[in-house]
Structures are given as C-alpha cells and as structure tokens.
Amino acid sequence: MRIDAYNQVNQIYKAAGSVKSDKVQKTSKRDKVEISSFGKAYQVAKQAVASAPDVRQDKIADIKERIQNGTYDVSPEAFADKLLSDYDVFI
C-alpha cells in the first residue's frame, strides 16, 4: 500500500471540504396564494352539491303514489334500452 497516494487523496478531500459559502440574506418577501375565478366557482359548485340532498323526496313520493294506485308502468323495452345505454353496449 502506498502511503503517499493516500496523502494526495486526503489533500484533495480537505481542499474540497474547505469551500466557504456566502451568508444568506433574509428577504422580506412572503409567499402569496391567489385563487383563480375558476377555482372560486368550483368551490361554490362543490359546496352546492355537498348541501344538496342525496335523495329527491318529491320524485320518490310521486313514484310511490303511482305504484300504490297501479298507474306506474315501465316498458320492458325502454328499461332494457336505458340499461344498455348506461353500459355502452352496442347491439
């Protein structure tokens, strides 16, 4: 093992480690967040959807009444067409 090669390598690392850095200056700038008009409109729409009821009671009451009266009729063809259109099935 060569000791002089070790000393040369050690000198290189010492030279690289002694780099001085400049002082960091503090600035008075602050981060700023601006929300676009689209973002504001999105938040309003999101709140409106969140406050809307999940179930439309007026529709349910109408259908229940029609079922009890025996006037609620669903065409099997219309039901099948609607079902297939929801799944994008091509016939």
pLDDT in tens, the chain (91 residues): 555 666 777 777 766 555 566 677 777 788 888 889 999 999 999 999 999 888 889 999 999 999 999 999 989 999 888 888 877 655 5
pTM (2 d.p.): 0.36
Q: What is the pLDDT of residue 18?
A: 55
Structural domain count of the chain:
1
Residue 18 in tokens = 């002694």
Residue 65 lies in a domain: yes
Q: For residue 73, give its domain range.
A: 55-91
Residue 22 lies in a domain: no
Q: What is the pLDDT of residue 37?
A: 93
Tell me the Ramachandran region of residue 73: left when phi exceeds 0, alpha when psi lies from -120 to 50, beta otherwise: beta
